[in-house]
Amino acid sequence: MNVKEKLKNALVEELKLEDVTPGDIKDDAPLFGEGLGLDSLDAIELVVLVQRNFGLTMQDQEEARKAFVSVNSLAAYIEKRLA
């Protein structure tokens, strides 16, 4: 399973997204607001999700903000940090 697939599965399962499947999540759709509809509380859970599933700690708030734009940006962040 690649990073994007693992990330989408984790988003649906761990954030308990109702009526959303991993296949419904577009790679370039915004995670917050209009796209997936996540909010500020979900952002905290997203930090924990990244740590739990990928072993990465996000301490820089600006870096996290840039990574949390879309599945594409978050997957790129994870892949870069794991390389």
Burial of 3 (0-12, 13-18, 19+ CB in 10 A): middle
What's residue 5's pLDDT? Answer: 97
- Please say whether the beta carbons of 35 and 70 come within 8 A: yes
Supply the pTM of this predicted model.
0.92
CA angle, residues 32, 19, 70, in degrees to nearest 5: 25
Q: Is the dihedral of CA 19, 9, 11, 24 positive or negative?
A: negative
Please tell me the predicted confidence (pLDDT) of residue 59: 83
Q: What angle do CA 43, 48, 52 make, to 5 degrees?
A: 145
pLDDT along the chain (83 residues), means of 10: 94 94 96 92 94 93 93 97 93
Q: How high is the pLDDT of residue 34?
A: 87
CATH among 2.60.40, 3.30.70, 1.10.1200, 1.10.357 for 3-16+30-82: 1.10.1200
